[in-house]
Amino acid sequence: MAEEKKRKTSPGEFVRQVRSETSKVVWPTREETVRTAIFVFIMMLILSLFFLGIDSIFSALVRWLLTLA
């Protein structure tokens, strides 16, 4: 297979490409950021309560099994 030679990019061209790509980024608004942070906090709270319940159930089950031995 013949591989195509990749052209080396000069540091100046690299910086221009980075600036060009950075200008395409759409940054979230403050409202979107706050809404997302609140959503993450609520999901963290729900999941932590879920895993606390699962852990408590398994802990009680293991304690019960150990009393049988």
User: What is the per-residue pLDDT across 22-64, written as a single tens digit (0 to 9) for each?
Assistant: 999 999 999 999 999 999 999 999 999 999 999 999 999 999 9
Amino acid 3: pLDDT: 58
Contact 19, 11 (CB under 8 A): no
Residue closest to 28 by CA, chosen among 19, 37, 41: 37
Amino acid 2: pLDDT: 53
Would the CA dihedral through 44, 49, 51, 55 be positive or negative? positive
| pLDDT band, very low/low/confident/very high, at 1 (cuts 50, 70, 90) | low
Residues 6+ apart with CB under 8 A from 9: 17
How many other C-beta atoms lie within 10 A of the C-beta of residue 49?
A: 10
